[in-house]
Amino acid sequence: MSLNRNKITIVGAGNVGASCASWIIERNLADVVLLDIPETKNMPKGKALDMLQMSPISNTHCKIIGTTNYELTASSDICVITAGVPRKPGMSREDLVATNQGIVQTVVKNLTQYSPQTILIIVTNPLDSMCYVALKASNFPKNRVIGQAGVLDSARMRTFISQELGISVENIHASVIGGHGDEMVPLIRYSTICGLPLSHFLSKEKINEIVDRTRKGGSELVNLLGISAWYAPGAAAGFMVEAILKDKKIILPCSAFLEGEYGLSNLYFGVLGILGNHGLEKIIDIPLNEEEQQLLKKSAGLIQETMKSLK
């Protein structure tokens, strides 16, 4: 590995992990180690070699290796965890909890042994509960264990608004907070188009339709694909990696460990936070009206329910 490039490990060389790896090296952001279980045999190596062969075409210089050996992940700046089983039609993210808890615990123990100073970005579902599992298994401070959900959910909402209006996604800002489940909370009041409220462009009915489609955005894709999505989830995790590596201090919706913020404690929950070199550097508490608070409470209730089945 080069001395002057950052190093990112991605655990889980499946659909989301490989998409994330590809997003990172196409942007020349960092060297990547793509790791999977020995049962996958040469699959991670094959995917890494395939991606490496993109570099002459995209004129990039990052190295990528595929492996099943944690020793090669040593001193990673950031580790992205996508290891686990994805959902199939008819399943909720919560249905994955038992299997994925064990996987996340093992992965975190292995990673932190070789990269004790790393920042963990969790993607495995059910997201908020898996972040909690990772926090406990790593014993890391909370700023170094962050979940990817809101970047994806907000991107989905921006896409739907853009499709509806024929206005560039660049002009559209959407804030989706809450748990990464069907009870997530798209904040209409804090979503804007070129600084103007959504209601300037869209009827109440249309806004409600978009909110509903955003909430069920993951399920829509599971039904189309027969398995959960990967391009946008991989890119969303890559986007967070970039924000941290470049010390952007950008405010993004992330799953964060709450200790009183938003009136909630002892759980991971999607909120706004500043991402920089130290990971999730600050949680931004925002004023919410009665209706928004009720929606958040409902969403938090779902996560607390899932967390009860953690062993």
Q: Where do contacts with ligand APR occur on this chain (CB under 6 A)?
A: 11-17, 36-37, 40, 82-84, 86-87, 96, 100, 103, 106-107, 123-125, 228, 230, 233
Q: Shortest distance, CB of residue 147 to ligand APR, whole angstroms?
A: 11
Rounded Cα distance between 18 and 258, Å, is 30
List the structure tokens of 190: 């804090």
Q: Which is nearer to ligand APR, 7 or 93 (CB)?
A: 93
Q: Shortest distance, CB of residue 233 to ligand APR, whole angstroms?
A: 5
Q: Which is nearer to ligand APR, 195 or 226 (CB)?
A: 226
Rounded Cα distance between 215 and 19, Å, is 23
The reply to whether 278 belongs to the active site is no
Rounded Cα distance between 286 and 273, Å, is 11
Rounded Cα distance between 106 and 249, Å, is 31
- Give just the sign of the alpha carbon dihedral 279, 285, 289, 295: positive
Q: Which is nearer to ligand APR, 15 or 306 (CB)?
A: 15
Q: Which is nearer to ligand APR, 32 or 103 (CB)?
A: 103
> What are φ and ψ of residue 58, in 5° steps?
-90, 0
Rounded Cα distance between 220 and 228, Å, is 9
Residues 6+ apart with CB under 8 A from 222: 87, 88, 89, 91, 228, 229
- Residue nearest to ligand APR as judged by C-beta position: 14
List the structure tokens of 71: 């020793």
Cβ burial, residue 152 (10 Å; 0-12/13-18/19+): buried
Rounded Cα distance between 249 and 278, Å, is 10
Cβ burial, residue 26 (10 Å; 0-12/13-18/19+): middle
Q: Shortest distance, CB of residue 268 to ligand APR, whole angstroms?
A: 15
Catalytic residue among 173, 180, 200, 278: 180
Q: Which is nearer to ligand APR, 12 or 273 (CB)?
A: 12
Amino acid letter at 165?
L
Q: Which is nearer to ligand APR, 32 or 288 (CB)?
A: 32
Q: Shortest distance, CB of residue 152 to ligand APR, whole angstroms?
A: 9
List the structure tokens of 306: 């899932």
Q: Shortest distance, CB of residue 236 to ligand APR, whole angstroms?
A: 10
Q: Shortest distance, CB of residue 96 to ligand APR, whole angstroms?
A: 6
Q: Which residues are catalytic?
A: 180
